[in-house]
Amino acid sequence: MSYSQRKITIGQREYWISTDPDYGKHLGERFEPNTAALLECLSSPDSRVLDIGANIGITGVLLAQLSPDGSVTAIEPVPAAYTLLSKNVANSGHKNIRTCNFALGKTDGEVVMQGNPSNLSGSFVSDIHSIDDGHHFREVVRQHALDAVFGSLGLERLDLIKIDVEGYELDVLEGAKSVLARYQPIVTLEMNYVALNLWRNMSVPEFRARLLDIFPCVYAVKEGGYIDFRDEKRSHEVLFNHLTKWEYMDIVAGFDVVALTNRLERLEYIRQKNETEYARSREPDEAVSRVAELQAIIDHLEEDLNCAREGRAARERESALAKERIHAIEGSHSWMVTAPLRGLMRSFRKR
């Protein structure tokens, strides 16, 4: 598999990231600031987090940065993506990330995944729909229900789950009913009507209805704002704008309405804070700017001094040449022969 390396700002830090070709082209210099703000809003320094659908590990690295005293378990089923995930986790310097190479779903077993080998981020479970174009890969991977494997993950609690599995989110949640009931974590997941329709044969109203059956509180997030997805009037706004404008792709669900809304109330503040910090990080340091300014002045003065030295050297060369000419004339035969005549002329001038 071919991949490239590039430097990307994730949260407030820069990392060298190994990425598949097409996905890397779309990353930009900074990873999804709205996603970063949302995950910061939902996490704490000691959070225990599951990153389900970790892809090449950028979100996992961000979560490890946001929860330095906690832990991140990054789960990615596609072998090629998992290779890059492992590489990026190792290179990140974060010691609180564990990686797992399997899929999560309703049951234990195997599933077939398909995807673009140049953009692994869109890989999907193809049990309902498949692509037979000779380009998209087909890969049989191991699948577990979270309820079945949670005990092997070494987590004494679970605070946050992030799910991005191209329409397979409800299958993951169905296999995690016991974990959700016991730990009642905050869950943030993607709502993607293309993936839901194509890969799962499901409409977004059905997706919403099934989420409401699982969680007491569900919110649709857009940049720094959020809408109660249980509100029938507001939910129409969310669904319409999602279908026509690709808005409200982030869904946040949980079990404690007060605790969750208190976090979401801070979202816009966190987003603005991050933008300010990022802008400051791009500005040259004041001391560095002053040194550069002084260096420019010094360079200008040195240039003037060099010009003056060159001018003085030129004048000294001209003076030396003039002295040589005078000395040559004074030593010539003509000068000596005409000496009496010059003396007579000087005496006439004195009169």
List Cα–Cα distances, 146 to 121, 126, 169, 173, in angstroms: 21, 20, 12, 8
Output the pLDDT for position 349: 59
Give the rounded percent of residues in the chain with a pLDDT score beyond 70: 90
Whether residue 188 has pLDDT greater than 80: yes
Q: Which two tokens stand for residue 218?
A: 């569900």
Whether residue 290 has pLDDT greater than 70: no
Output the pLDDT for position 26: 84
With beta carbons less than 8 A apart as the criterion, state whether 18 and 84 touch: yes
Whether residue 244 has pLDDT greater than 60: yes
Rg of the chain, C-alpha, whole Å: 36
Output the pLDDT for position 334: 67
Whole-prediction pTM: 0.81
CATH architecture of 4-282: 3-Layer(aba) Sandwich (3.40)
With beta carbons less than 8 A apart as the criterion, state whether 155 and 47 touch: no
Whether residue 37 has pLDDT greater than 80: yes
pLDDT tens digit string along 163-187?
999 999 999 999 999 999 999 999 9
pLDDT tens digit string along 300-325?
777 777 787 877 777 877 777 777 77
Which residue has 């000294």 as its token pair? 316
Torsion of the alpha carbons at 93, 94, 95 and 100, rounded to the nearest 10: -110
Task: Residue 322: count other Cβ atoms within 10 Å of its Cβ.
Answer: 10
Q: In terms of pLDDT, which residue wins out, 18 or 330? A: 18
Task: Residue 168: count other Cβ atoms within 10 Å of its Cβ.
Answer: 26
* Domain positions in the chain: 4-282, 286-350
Which residue has 């500005």 as its token pair? 283
Q: In terms of pLDDT, which residue wins out, 283 or 5? A: 5
Output the pLDDT for position 345: 62
pLDDT tens digit string along 209-228?
999 999 999 999 998 899 99
